């Protein structure tokens, strides 16, 4: 806050850091100059001789009976009511300068003469802006900053000023004419140009920066309205009355000065509309949405005034629109005070900037309206307000970024905890599956070594008893039936043992055998099962072999029981690329037809769960030529095979 206040004070001080010009008070159209008055800036103030309703040139005063003045008019100031002049009129003014002895090269600095003029010094035209005329049609309006050369040789100099005003709401000379050495005038113009260029550059950077922020964060409208506000102020500052020449240095010479000033005024009105929307989007609870409509109406009213009304009337409408800025500025300050009391972020900073802007706006509007004479404060006032606005948004973004960083840190911490929990859950799932497989192996071994052996012994005992009895006895026939039942039960027990853990042919393998699974499927009735293996290793020790076996087992079961497949192909591809691919393809009726009338799906979910546990990719899709394709791609860690080669 302190830095912004100092920056604003520096802007005001930079604009008026030089001492004010000396006031040379003329008397009855005559101004006597002293030598010390010509070392700095001298304001040619006081009464000038006035020739109302006439556009006279020095030639008109060179005749034997020259026109006589009808009074005197003080400059700077408006001419309404003086010497019978109205706001829309034309006149000629004369001032005689009595310089001290000696020759001096001087410069006259003319700003804000309403609204077209010519200036002669002893009959030589030294300055002109626009073309004076007796009507709106014959007058070419142009208000600009002009540095006119003037040579003082110790003898009196007659200044003849020809002015007409048929476009602006009031005629006259709004600011004093300054007489100074050329270097002083050039330095003053350069200082004005530098301050204006600095202000315009700041506005350009602010506008582009905040519009870029809105492009990245479209859900946050305050940067949009602040960016538009800054760019519209840029157009106003570059084309306003005090810096119109700055825009002339950029735009083509064919661009009409009057249109340039109208664009500047339109930009100022549009900027005030954008300013209210900025406050409304920043503090929606404190600023009225209904008043926004009234604020927005200023823009169409201005456009209608420019298009439908004559320039003279349009200026009065524009003045009324500008006067509306005073109550709006008071409203801004009052609502910002409410925002400060409610603890809204950045409201205290905006309040200071709003007070500065309101004071500068009130000063300029009253000066523009002719309530009193003084300098314009719009540039430093807007500069201070823009700085405070930018700092408010910067503070807002800083708090948002800090909140995002805090939430990001919390999210990272929670993600780490969640990652740890997921790893623990996966470990427990793998452990449960390992326990399940170990239990399957134990039950399989117990069935094979216990129940299966007992059933085999019972079957053999039954055969012995059957051979010892006569074939004609009924008891022998019953033993034969019992023997067949024991044979079937023994085969079922062996099949159940092999289904739980078919590792009879490779006890050292890490999991069940796909070969045995395929052989078991072939022994059933119906489908022909084909196994195709492309292994990189002499002996597979992949820890995921058990999960792949169970997925293949479920796929085979689905193909036989539900898909009504006639041919099933099981392929395993492990080419040492760090992965193993299992594909079970059948020529059945497809997934959609097989799923009709079934409430199942548990087997598919179990397959997906097993694939997820081992980090595999599982896909089940219909084959292009009919049937179903189950594809599972699992990782395969590197190991050392029996032959000593490094494999995957």
Per-residue confidence (pLDDT) for residue 549, from 0 to 100: 83
Are 170 and 231 found together in one domain?
no
- Is 640's pLDDT higher than 50? no
| Residue range 107-124: mean pLDDT, rounded | 90
pLDDT at 373: 59
Check whether residue 155 and residue 101 sit in a common domain: yes
277 and 154 fall within a common domain = no
Question: What is the predicted pLDDT for the residue at 58?
Answer: 93
Check residue 403 and give its pLDDT: 84
Q: For the residues 289-303, what does the mean pLDDT come to?
A: 87
Report if residue 453 sits inside a domain.
Answer: no
Q: What is the pLDDT confidence band of residue 170, given thresholds at 50, 70 and 90?
A: confident
Torsion of CA 157, 74, 375, 332, to 10 degrees: -160
CA distance 377 to 379: 6
- Of 253 and 314, the structure prediction assigns the larger pLDDT to 314
Q: Is 154 helix (H, G, I), strand (E, B) or coil?
A: coil
Residues 143 and 207 in one domain: no
Question: Is residue 339 a contact partner of residue 283, using CB atoms and an 8 Å limit?
Answer: yes
Report CA torsion sign: 435, 437, 440, 442: negative
Mean pLDDT of 345-368: 79
Average pLDDT over residues 338-363: 84
Q: Among the three residues 405, 425, 456, which one is the final residue of a domain in this structure?
A: 405
Question: Considering only 315-329, 332-346, 473-487, which range has the smallest mean pLDDT?
Answer: 473-487
Answer yes or no: is 497 within a domain.
no
pLDDT-derived band at 124 (thresholds 50, 70, 90) equals very high
Tell me what pLDDT residue 646 has: 39
d(CA 244, CA 237): 8
Q: Is residue 187 part of a domain?
A: no
pTM of the model: 0.57
Mean pLDDT, rounded, for 330-355: 87
pLDDT of residue 148: 92
pLDDT grade, residue 388 (50/70/90)? confident
Q: Hey, how many other C-beta atoms are within 10 angstroms of the C-beta on 270?
A: 22
> 502 in a domain, yes or no?
no
Question: Per-residue pLDDT tens for 85-103?
Answer: 888 899 999 999 999 998 9
**Same domain (yes/no): 166, 206:** no
Highest-confidence range of 220-229, 310-319, 544-553, 575-584, by mean pLDDT? 220-229
pLDDT for position 189: 79
User: Is the confidence at residue 216, as pLDDT, over 60?
Assistant: yes
| Residue ranges making up the domain that contains 132 | 24-175
Whole-number mean pLDDT of the chain?
80
Q: Supply the pLDDT for residue 215.
A: 92
For residues 226 and 323, which has the higher predicted lDDT (pLDDT)? Answer: 226
Region of poorest pLDDT, from 131-135, 374-378, 382-386: 374-378
State residue 258's pLDDT score. Answer: 65
Using DSSP's 3-state secondary structure scheme, residue 333 falls into helix
Locus of tokens 């594909």: 583
Greater model confidence, 611 or 641: 611
What is the rounded average pLDDT of the residues 434-449?
75
Indicate whether 399 belongs to any domain.
yes
Residue-level pLDDT at 107: 93
Examine the domain organization and report whether 115 and 35 are in the same domain. Answer: yes
Kindly report, residue by residue over 225-255, the tens digit of the pLDDT: 989 988 998 888 887 765 555 676 666 666 6
- Which one has a higher pLDDT value, 74 or 94? 94
Domain boundary among 123, 145, 175: 175
* Percent of the chain scoring above 90 in pLDDT: 18
29-61 residue pLDDT tens:
899 988 878 888 888 888 899 999 999 999 999
How is 578-612 classified by DSSP, letter by letter?
SEEEEEEEE-SS-HHHHHTT----HHHHHHHHHHH
Asked whether residue 226 is assigned to any structural domain, the reply reads yes
Q: In this structure, what CATH number is given to the domain that contains residue 523?
A: 3.30.565.10
* Residue 596 confidence (pLDDT): 62
**245-259, 458-472, 581-595: which has the highest mean pLDDT?**
581-595
Per-residue pLDDT band at 2 (split at 50, 70, 90)? low
pLDDT for 398-412, tens place per residue?
A: 887 888 888 898 999
The residue among 640 and 324 whose pLDDT is bigger is: 324
Please say whether the dihedral angle defined by the alpha carbons of residues 504, 506, 510 and 513, taken in this order, is positive or negative: negative
pLDDT band at 458 (very low <50, low <70, confident <90, very high): confident
* Paired tokens of 281: 């989007």
- Rounded distance between C-alpha atoms, residue 604 and residue 211, angstroms: 53
Mean pLDDT of 546-561: 85
The domain boundary, picked from 344, 374, 405, lies at: 405
Question: Burial, 578: exposed, middle or buried (Cβ in 10 Å; 0-12, 13-18, 19+)?
Answer: exposed
Please answer whether residues 531 and 514 qualify as being in contact, where contact means their C-beta atoms are separated by less than 8 angstroms. yes
pLDDT band at 126 (very low <50, low <70, confident <90, very high): very high
Does 134 share its domain with 207?
Answer: no
Instruction: Note the pLDDT of residue 277.
Output: 92
Strand partners, 583: 571, 631
> 291 and 158 in one domain?
no
Note whether 202 and 292 are same-domain residues. Answer: yes
What is the DSSP code (8-state) at residue 106?
A: E
pLDDT score, position 375 = 64
422 in a structural domain: no
Q: Phi/psi at 584 (nearest 5 deg)?
A: -120, 110
The arithmetic mean of pLDDT across residues 320-344, rounded, is 86
Q: What confidence score (pLDDT) does residue 642 get?
A: 41
- The answer, yes or no, to whether residue 602 has pLDDT greater than 80, is no
Q: What is the CATH number of the domain that holds 102?
A: 2.60.120.260
pLDDT beyond 50 at 480: yes
Count of the separate structural domains present in the chain: 3
The band of 383, judged by pLDDT with boundaries at 50, 70 and 90, is confident
Going 255 to 261 to 267 to 273, the CA torsion angle's sign is negative
285 phi/psi in degrees, rounded to 5? -80, -20
* Same domain? 216 vs 94: no
> Which pLDDT does position 439 carry in this prediction?
78
Residue partners of 53: CB distance under 8 A and separation at least 6: 84, 85, 89, 90, 91
Same domain, residue pair 144 and 280 = no
Residue 212: pLDDT over 70: yes
Confirm if 115 and 171 have CB atoms less than 8 A apart. Answer: yes
In a domain, residue 365? The reply is yes
Q: Dump pLDDT digits (tens) for 487-544.
A: 777 777 767 766 666 544 344 454 567 787 787 777 666 678 888 888 777 667 777 7
Q: Where residue 224 falls among pLDDT bands split at 50, 70, 90?
A: very high
Statement to judge: residues 260 and 382 lie in one domain = yes
Using the predicted structure, report yes or no on whether residue 441 has a pLDDT greater than 80.
no
pLDDT of residue 639: 43
Separation of alpha carbons 308 and 453, rounded Å: 112
Write the pLDDT tens digit of every residue in 413-435: 999 999 888 888 878 877 877 78
């Amino acid at each position: 806050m302190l830095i912004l206040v100092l920056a604003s004070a520096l802007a005001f001080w930079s604009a008026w850091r030089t001492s004010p010009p000396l006031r040379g008070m003329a008397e009855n159209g005559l101004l006597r100059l002293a030598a010390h008055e010509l070392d700095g800036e001298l304001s040619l103030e006081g009464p000038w001789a006035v020739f109302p309703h006439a556009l006279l040139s020095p030639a008109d005063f060179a005749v034997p009976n020259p026109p006589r003045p009808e009074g005197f008019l003080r400059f700077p100031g408006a001419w309404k009511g003086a010497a019978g002049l109205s706001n829309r009129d034309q006149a000629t003014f004369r001032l005689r300068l009595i310089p001290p002895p000696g020759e001096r090269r001087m410069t006259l600095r003319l700003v804000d003469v309403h609204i077209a003029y010519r200036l002669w010094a002893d009959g030589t035209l030294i300055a002109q802006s626009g073309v004076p005329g007796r009507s709106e049609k014959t007058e070419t309006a142009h208000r600009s900053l002009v540095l006119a050369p003037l040579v003082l040789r110790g003898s009196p100099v007659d200044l003849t000023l020809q002015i007409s005003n048929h476009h602006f709401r009031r005629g006259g000379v709004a600011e004093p004419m300054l007489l100074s050495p050329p270097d002083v005038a050039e330095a003053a113009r350069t200082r004005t140009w530098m301050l204006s260029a600095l202000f315009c550059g700041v506005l350009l950077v602010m506008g582009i920066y905040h519009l870029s922020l809105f492009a990245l964060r479209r859900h946050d409208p305050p940067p949009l309205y602040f960016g538009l506000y800054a760019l519209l102020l840029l157009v106003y500052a570059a084309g306003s009355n005090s810096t119109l020449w700055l825009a002339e240095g950029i735009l083509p010479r064919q661009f009409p000065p009057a249109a340039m000033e109208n664009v500047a005024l339109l930009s100022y009105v549009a900027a005030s509309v954008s300013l209210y929307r900025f406050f409304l989007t920043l503090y929606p609870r404190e600023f009225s949405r209904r008043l926004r409509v009234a604020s927005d109406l200023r823009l169409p009213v201005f456009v209608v005034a420019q298009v439908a009304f004559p320039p003279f009337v349009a200026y009065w409408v524009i003045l009324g629109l500008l006067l509306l800025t005073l109550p709006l500025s008071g409203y801004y300050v009052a609502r910002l005070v409410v925002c400060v009391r409610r603890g809204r972020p950045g409201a205290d900073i905006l309040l200071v900037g709003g007070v500065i802007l309101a004071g500068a706006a009130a000063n300029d509007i009253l000066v523009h309206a002719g309530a009193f004479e003084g300098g314009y404060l719009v540039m430093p006032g807007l500069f201070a307000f823009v700085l405070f606005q930018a700092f408010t948004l910067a503070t807002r973004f800083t708090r948002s970024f800090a909140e995002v960083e805090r939430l990001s840190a919390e999210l990272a911490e929670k993600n780490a905890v969640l990652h740890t929990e997921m790893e623990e859950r996966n470990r427990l799932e793998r452990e449960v599956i390992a326990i399940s497989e170990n239990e399957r192996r134990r039950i399989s071994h117990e069935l094979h070594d216990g129940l299966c052996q007992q059933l085999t012994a019972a079957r053999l005992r039954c055969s012995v008893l059957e051979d010892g009895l006569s074939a004609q006895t009924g008891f022998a026939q019953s033993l034969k039936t019992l023997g067949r039942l024991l044979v079937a039960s023994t085969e079922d027990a062996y099949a159940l043992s092999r289904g739980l853990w078919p590792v009879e042919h490779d006890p050292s393998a890490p999991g069940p055998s796909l070969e045995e699974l395929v052989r078991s499927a072939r022994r059933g009735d119906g489908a022909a099962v084909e196994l195709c293996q492309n292994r990189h290793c002499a002996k597979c020790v992949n820890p995921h072999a058990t999960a792949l076996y169970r997925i293949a087992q479920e796929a085979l079961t689905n193909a036989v029981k539900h898909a009504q497949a006639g041919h099933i192909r099981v392929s395993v591809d492990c080419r040492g690329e760090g992965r193993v691919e299992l594909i079970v393809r059948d020529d059945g009726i497809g997934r959609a037809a097989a799923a009709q009338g079934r409430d199942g799906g548990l087997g598919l979910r179990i397959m997906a769960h097993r694939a997820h546990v081992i980090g595999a990719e599982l896909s089940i899709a219909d084959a292009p030529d009919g049937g179903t394709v189950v594809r599972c791609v699992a990782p395969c860690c590197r190991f050392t095979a029996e032959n000593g080669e490094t494999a995957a």
